[in-house]
A and B are shown apart, each in its own frame.
Chain A
Amino acid sequence: MSIHDFWTPFSLFPFLNSLFIGISLASIFFIAALGLTIIYGTMGVINMAHGEFIMLGAYTTYVFQTFLGVPFLICLPIAFIALAVIGLVIERGIIRTLYQRPLDTLLATWGLSLILIQGIRIIFGGEPKYVGVPSWLDFQIEANFIHLSGVRLFIIIFAIVIGAATWFLMYKTTMGIRVRAVMQDKEMAASFGIDANKIYSITFAYGAGLAGVAGALFGALKTLFPDMGSGYIVEAFLVVVVGGIGLVGSMFSAGILGELSSIFSYFTNETFARFILFTLVVVFLRFRPQGLITDGTTRR
């Protein structure tokens, strides 16, 4: 037929709305990546099981909501605490022994992800589950050209809140100063009396907890099944490689990736948008392998 088969004809208001959708996509990217960034940035551990932590967070919410009738909003901190505890156990049990061998942490966490997927499959079966969205989120904002669903708005606000909370923890508390000290130079920090192992445990638990909250939120948007994590880990890694290891870098790269993916899928289509996005990331990394923003610290 015509060229319109592939290119959407430009129309101002829907295009502006697609920018808002971009923010919504960016907030999902950001929430998915935050835990991974913090763990990688602090400990240098590439956590291949991050996607499965997200999946566990979603299933935790499902269990509490469906079987115990806990309201959705309360499920969020529960998912955080549950995953933080699981993270702590995993750090103490597996990761701790492998700090000197970064390649082995990669394999160990990947193996862990397979165990978690299979474990959930045994317990809950391969059937998809879903998390109910509370009725107070069942609204849409329709102002002029903006159409945004309540759930999306909630996720955007939540992304800002946990971004701010993480920033506060890292830059305004004694704990955060210790974490950043260990991040820059572990031995030097230790000589000032900072217990690096304790910092690692706490960071890993915090990162895992963030993944848990992410899972709880994504459960409201999408379907739950045991291997849902693999989709998010790609997005999360994309954010981390583009952004560099810092909090600010992740924020910017999530924003850019979300907007680009929304704009491309407005003009072309979902599949082609992914293709362009991945290509651009590869080109970008060719010229700036360290990512958008680096803290000026030694790269691992």
Chain B
Amino acid sequence: MSNKRRKILKGSAVAASAAALGFPSIYIKNASAAAPWIKKKDKTIKVGLLWSQTGNLAVIENDSTQVALYAIDEINAAGGVAGRMIEPVVIDAKSDIKVYSEKISQLILKDRVIATFGGYTSASRRAVAPIVMARDHLFYYPTCYEGRECTQNIINTGPLANQHSFDLIPFMAKEFGPKCYLIGSNYIWPKESNKNAKVWLENVGGEIVGEDYVPLGGSEFTPIFNKVRQAKPDFIFSTVVGDSDIAMHKQFLQEGFKSDKLPIAALTTGEIEIRAMGAEAGAGHFLSAPYFQTLDNPTNHKFVDGYLSSKYGGGGVTHYNMEETYLSLYVWKYGLEKALAQTGNIEDITPRMIRDVSGGIAVEDDVSPEGKVWIDPDNFNCWLKPKIGQCGSDGQFKIVKAADEHVAPDPMSIYPERGVCKADGLHTPDGKIKTDVL
């Protein structure tokens, strides 16, 4: 009797725990695998916007959010994508790396966005990438970066090292002299950029006379400028970002340096930064970027006028970073439309599918403010025309050098031994294919 009762108890306990633990987890798994990312009855398509509106990166990333919303409005006004309106899910990442990785999970799992646009620092991209790759999702990183990665889930619309510092360093060495001082923020992008810069500088017989990094958000530059004075460089190559960049330019002036004697060649000091530091602090310095507000073509005039007169244009300037963000939304739109044309059924579309069809997608002259660009079918970076601008006393850049031809993105330019990045992964020299290489 007691034995029998025990068996019954045991049995029901197993059943109960199975019901409590086992079943729901199976259920959730099935649901997420089977449910389409876009349902037929959906009126909108959700995308995530993951930038910081607050903290030390807000200087830049706030404008990225604004221009992304502007592009979404523009696409929606023209009829949306696949007959549906785009619905942005706007996140404030608070300039905190932890928040980027937390929120990307939320966007994918809870909001179920089809793609996420975001990031300005490589630190944030690196925080987001593992989660995006693990979920086989889709992330658009719309700004310059160092390359050296080969992932299957990220599309980039900004220049790589071989598309900006490759031109900038020889230009500066030729115009001002061979001695260069490197100043950067302390994280991966400046360090990789400086590795590239050293290679380019060696090619033209230049010399590094000093190298210094400040913490992200750091604002004390006098000790560095003291060393700059000792080293007597011909120009400074800066990869300082965010509000540190502004502090650096202000202190450069206060220390009595002059931009015609010691110009700063930067990859990031554009119209937004100049607006924040004041035009007198930016005048005379150089920037390499594929886009400047002053580009003289009808599409850019339309973009600048349209954006600045919209409710998002309160910042008063456009910037290479904003233009690349604007492009990324069109690249996504074309990718989604191409995927739909291939499958015919919107419920079959997955984020990965959009990425796979994005190779070769072009944004033509009539949409792209910087002129035609297209996505490389192998490494999913952007073909573009690098340009060098010099800041004038009005805070706007005068273009002093522009490439005649489109330059191919080469993420492994200084690491040929790592292999070649193709759509299916990194083809290493020993014949293997590695996926998701960070």
Contact = CB atoms under 8 A, between A and B. Distances in A.
B246 A128 contact: yes
Interface stretch (A16-24, A37-45, A282-290): A16-24
A262 B55 CA distance: 27
A140 B255 contact: yes
A71 to B, nearest CB: 18
Contacts of B276: 127-128, 130, 223
B379 to A, nearest CB: 30
Contact of A152 (B186, B222, B227, B243): B222
Contact of B214 (A5, A151, A261, A271): A271
A198 interface: no
Given A225-B56, A274-B215, A147 B254 contact: no
B215 A262 contact: no
Contact of A225 (B213, B243, B315): B243
Contact of A231 (B62, B219, B278): B219
Contacts of A94: none
B58 A225 contact: yes
A234 B154 CA distance: 38
A152 to B, nearest CB: 7
Contacts of B53: 126
Interface string B218-255: 11101110110110000000000001001100110011
B230 A11 contact: yes
B223 A151 contact: no
A68 B85 CA distance: 46
B213 A270 contact: yes
Nearest to A117: B54
B247 A223 contact: yes
A149 B221 CA distance: 12
B160 interface: no
B279 to A, nearest CB: 12
Nearest to A137: B254
Interface residues of A, number: 41
A25 B212 CA distance: 18
A14 B59 contact: no
Interface in B374-425: none
A273 B255 CA distance: 21
Contacts of A138: 254
Contacts of A172: none
Contacts of A261: 223
A96 interface: no
Nearest to A150: B254
A271 B244 CA distance: 14
Contacts of A147: 226, 229, 255-256
Given A127-B62, A147-B255, A270 B224 contact: yes
Interface centre among A121, A231, A261, A270 (most CB of B within 10 A): A270
B58 A270 contact: no
B340 interface: no
A143 to B, nearest CB: 13
A37 to B, nearest CB: 21
A5 B186 contact: no
Interface in A199-216: none
B256 A271 contact: no
Nearest to A28: B220
A127 B214 CA distance: 22
Contacts of B223: 18, 21, 25, 261-262, 265-266, 270, 273
A269 interface: yes
A3 B28 CA distance: 57
Interface string A248-274: 000000000000011001100111011
Nearest to A4: B210
Interface string A152-165: 10000000000000
A226 interface: yes
B211 interface: yes
Contacts of B58: 126-128, 225
Interface in B253-296: 254-256, 276-278
B175 to A, nearest CB: 25
Contacts of B88: none
Contacts of B186: 270-271
Given A269-B212, A270-B220, A130 B54 contact: no
B217 interface: yes
Given A140-B256, A152-B254, A270-B212, A128 B243 contact: yes
A223 B219 contact: yes
A189 to B, nearest CB: 41
A274 B219 CA distance: 13
Contact of A266 (B213, B226, B246): B226
A140 B257 CA distance: 10
Interface string B346-389: 00000000000000000000000000000000000000000000
A132 B186 CA distance: 28
A173 B315 CA distance: 51
A2 to B, nearest CB: 11
A270 B219 contact: no
A271 B254 contact: no
B163 to A, nearest CB: 26
Contacts of A14: 226-227, 229-230
A266 B251 CA distance: 17
Contacts of A271: 186, 213-215
A293 interface: no
Contacts of B54: 121, 126, 226-227
B219 A151 contact: no
Contacts of A151: 254
B250 A221 contact: yes
A128 B272 CA distance: 11
Contacts of B278: 130, 132
Interface of B: 53-56, 58-59, 62, 186, 210-215, 217-220, 222-224, 226-227, 229-230, 243, 246-247, 250-251, 254-256, 276-278, 315
Given A149-B254, A152-B254, 4 more contacts: A222-B250, A223-B243, A270-B212, A270-B215
Closest 6 CB pairs of A and B: A140-B256, A14-B230, A265-B223, A149-B254, A126-B58, A222-B219
21 contacts: A8-B230, A14-B227, A17-B229, A18-B223, A126-B55, A127-B315, A130-B246, A138-B254, A147-B229, A147-B256, A150-B254, A221-B250, A221-B254, A223-B219, A223-B276, A225-B56, A225-B59, A231-B217, A262-B223, A265-B223, A269-B212
